[in-house]
Amino acid sequence: MNRLSRQRIIVVILSVCFAIPVSGARITAQSPTSAPKEEFKFGKADLDLLDQASLLDKRFEREDQVFLDKATNSYLQRVGESLLPSDRNLEHVIWKFRALRDPVPNAFALPNGSVYVNTGLIALLENESQLAAILAHEITHVLNRHAYLQNRSNRKKYLAINIIAAIGAWNPAGGVAGAAIDIIAAISPFILITTMFGYSRDLEKEADLKGVDVMIIAEYPPEEMVKALKLLSNDIEGEQLKFFYNDHPQLKDRISYVTAYLGSKANKTTAAFELHREKTAYLTKIETVSRHDIQLAINSARFRTAVYLSQKFADFRPDSAENIFWLAESYRALGPRSPGLTEKELTDNARKDAAKKRAKLMPEEEERELLATPAGQQNWKNNQQKAEELYLRSLKLDHPVPMAHRGLGMLYEKMGRTREAIDEYQKYLDLASDAVDYGRIQRRIQTLKSSGD
């Protein structure tokens, strides 16, 4: 890219302000599922944005950000397509619904019809109707060309300030957001800002309310949109994330206007048993992607989220050795932290302090600090004990996971129970001869043996 066009893109893209309403994008009585009546005319800036969207798709694929599980993605595709209007052919739109490997609860649509739902959001939702609510919202952004409208309306206003704020916010706590966000930032700051913070309030409201209509037409109970928004308001990590999908003031606002809008619709409440059946079907479909997400959550120090999600799957299928194993892993990773946050830890000030601390400390440093306190010591004891029980339980179930032996080995090693640690590591190696960490565990055993001599 030459210097001039890069400069131009930066100017084009930096000039976003999501607080400014976009003119010409009012909520109208027009049928929610059809594209805007007048044909959308693509200008140069629109085509540039479209190019960036396609480039992003390629980078996500190339850099392993798309969760490559055929069953998961075809499920998303099926639910997504069921929400599309019959006249779904839009110029420069190819509908693709896929999971993105990122534990932060978020979703976004690119103007070319690529809709991404983060693994962290898929795992958090309770049923297919809630997934449909998220997709209906994102689909509306694409159908009504929101990215282009906002890009056009704000191009000349507001320079670097917003992008600087965005860049400061996207990585406040030692990598809360995954590599996907880095890729977006490198390609399109405009898309970065809309991905993280959403569009203007008017456009977001339009996406929510038309999303409700889209759900009704596709026969999903629309009140599940409110439930999904409430689920997102549940701040498991006590963090100061200002992403659109978990921005609390905005969520409160969304819950109240969607609820009011639903009140004006016919009563569509779905029978409880029907929702229960739906929940079971949904959790079965997302079990694989959720286990993957639990690992991502642990890797990115979202330990309480990992406990919350693995508990959900352990409750769903308590006889699954794999689900119990993930719960054990999550408790072991939790270390000296408490599994849930107290009211006090969830106040605005406490969350601000926690975010600052997280930005300064690595998870290991945070652990050391906590372990120096009586409460941290107590949590550590409780969590280790819980993890041990769970590993042992998972090993007694059908189809046990060899990694449970490795988990026990790590747990015992940390507790100073060296002989048991060696035994468990050895059992792991005996059962998993092709494990990627075979060599590493073998060296662990050697080290432990020689330290015991």
Between residues 129 and 144, which has the closer beta carbon with respect to Zn ion? 144
Between residues 140 and 300, which has the closer beta carbon with respect to Zn ion? 140
Between residues 48 and 204, which has the closer beta carbon with respect to Zn ion? 204
Q: Strand pairing partners for 100?
A: 66, 118
Give the whole-angstrom CA distance, residue 283 versus residue 122. 10
Between residues 225 and 324, which has the closer beta carbon with respect to Zn ion? 225
Please name the helix (run of DSSP H) or strand (run of DSSP E) that holds residue 122, with its range, or none: helix 119-124
Shortest distance, position 129 Cβ to Zn ion, whole Å: 18
Shortest distance, position 275 Cβ to Zn ion, whole Å: 25
Shortest distance, position 433 Cβ to Zn ion, whole Å: 48
Shortest distance, position 36 Cβ to Zn ion, whole Å: 17
Query: Hey, CA dihedral for 110, 278, 263, 88, is it positive or negative?
Result: positive
Shortest distance, position 177 Cβ to Zn ion, whole Å: 17
Shortest distance, position 321 Cβ to Zn ion, whole Å: 39
Between residues 121 and 207, which has the closer beta carbon with respect to Zn ion? 207
Q: Strand pairing partners for 107?
A: 117
| Closest to 291 in 3D by CA, of 251, 329, 254 | 329
Sequence-distant (6+) residues with CB within 8 A of 414 are: 384
- Residue burial 394-426, b: 16+ Cβ < 10 Å; e: rest: bbebeebbbbbbbbbbbbbbeeebeeebbbbbe
Between residues 245 and 313, which has the closer beta carbon with respect to Zn ion? 245
Between residues 254 and 337, which has the closer beta carbon with respect to Zn ion? 254
Between residues 57 and 204, which has the closer beta carbon with respect to Zn ion? 204
Shortest distance, position 265 Cβ to Zn ion, whole Å: 21
Shortest distance, position 132 Cβ to Zn ion, whole Å: 15
Other Cβ atoms within 10 Å of 157 Cβ, number: 12
Q: Strand pairing partners for 116?
A: 98, 108
Between residues 100 and 327, which has the closer beta carbon with respect to Zn ion? 100
Between residues 169 and 415, which has the closer beta carbon with respect to Zn ion? 169
Angle between helices 201-217 and 128-143 (to 10 degrees): 120
Paired tokens of 346: 């969830």
Give the neighbor-by-neighbor strand order of the sheet with 114-118.
96-100, 114-118, 107-109
- Residue burial 24-53, b: 16+ Cβ < 10 Å; e: rest: ebeeeeeebbebeeeeeeeeebbebbbebb
Shortest distance, position 218 Cβ to Zn ion, whole Å: 18
Between residues 204 and 223, which has the closer beta carbon with respect to Zn ion? 204
> How many Å is the Cα radius of gyration of the chain?
24
Give the dihedral of Cα atoms 144, 146, 151, 156; nearest 10 deg. 90
Angle 94-148-179 from CA coordinates, rounded to 5°: 70
Contact 410, 325 (CB under 8 A): no
Shortest distance, position 414 Cβ to Zn ion, whole Å: 43
Give the whole-angstrom CA distance, residue 448 versus residue 253. 56
Contact 63, 182 (CB under 8 A): no
Largest alpha-carbon pair distance within the chain? 81
- Interaction site with Zn ion (CB under 5 A): 198, 204, 207
Shortest distance, position 109 Cβ to Zn ion, whole Å: 8
Contact 279, 126 (CB under 8 A): yes
